[in-house]
Every structure is written in C-alpha cells, then in structure tokens.
Amino acid sequence: MKSRFLCLFSVFLCLCGQSVFVASAKAQATTQPVTQPVTRFVAIDIRIDPLGQPLGAYQIEFKATQGDVRLVGVEGGEPEAYKKAPFYDPKALQQSRVIIAAFSTESSLPTSLTRIARLHLQVRGDVVPKYELKLIVAGDKDAKPIDAKATWQTYTSD
C-alpha cells in the first residue's frame, strides 16, 4: 500500500515537473509586445552574384544589428529556379535574425547578380535599422562550393 502510494506520488511529482517545464518553455518562447510610437514595414531584397558560375544552392544569414526589427515574411526570388520561398526556420518570424537557404536542380540557373529572395520586415521605433548579411555557402549545380557575393537592398515599389 505504502509503496503504491509512493509510486503514485512519484508519478504525480514527475507530471508536475513536466508541466512546470513546459509552461516555462512556452513563457520563454512568447515575445512580449512592446508599444512603439512608429511601426513601418520594409522589404529587403537579397541578391547573390555567383560570379559566372551557375548558382545551384545558397544559404545566407541575415540579421538586424540595430533597431527594433522583426521578420514577418519570406518571399522567393526573381529567377524561375528560385521563385519558390526559400527554406527558413519558422521560429525566425518575429525575430531579427534568419537563415534562409534554397537549391535548384533546374537546368537554367542564374550565373550573375540575381535577387534570390525578399524578406519582409516590421520596423518599430525611430531608430534607423542596420543590417548584416552573411553568405554561409553557395554551390554550383553539382553542389560543389563556389565563390559568390551576397548583398541586400531595400526594396521600393517605385
């Protein structure tokens, strides 16, 4: 009887512990809304120049180093090979850092400066944002690493 009670109580404690853990994890994952006087939306074009090589794949990291910037959407690029939205971690939404990556097995691949993705950002407050873009890797059609240059540009519809 006593051992059964102890066993049940142990299970109860375990469940309590897990509940507390899950609750704290959820609380950490939740971002608290911050009231800011000004909110605007900007789009950033991500471009890659594969320097004459066919761009078979790319992986870049983009982050805001200044300002209250949050990612709200990721769009594909201009060429047919990268029209589809790239892979990204959904957890990056509402954060200021994202890693995007895409590959293409199509025969027609870009070989010069091309817009490969567009990031949609929400900017709050008056601080002018600063961005940093890092090319993690670029590859040719055979998935061999190639030299390439990644740049970003604010998109304007005009």
In the complex, the residues that contact other proteins under the rule CB under 8 A are 6, 9-11, 13-14, 17-18, 21-22, 56-59, 86-89, 91-92, 95, 97-103, 105, 136-137, 139, 142-145
CB 118, min distance to other proteins, A? 16
CB 143, min distance to other proteins, A? 4
6 or 38, CB closer to other proteins? Answer: 6
Q: What is the 3-state secondary structure (H, E, C) of 117-128?
A: EEEEEEEECCCC
Helix or strand holding residue 25 (H, E): helix 2-29
CB 127, min distance to other proteins, A? 23
HSE-up of residue 121 (Cα within 13 Å, Cβ side): 27
CB 152, min distance to other proteins, A? 17
Q: Which of 26, 62, 53 is nearest to 150 (CA)?
A: 62
Burial class (CB in 10 A: 0-12, 13-18, 19+), 122: middle
41 or 87, CB closer to other proteins? Answer: 87
98 or 123, CB closer to other proteins? Answer: 98
Across-strand partners of 70? 122
43 or 99, CB closer to other proteins? Answer: 99
Longest distance between any two alpha carbons in the chain, whole Å: 78
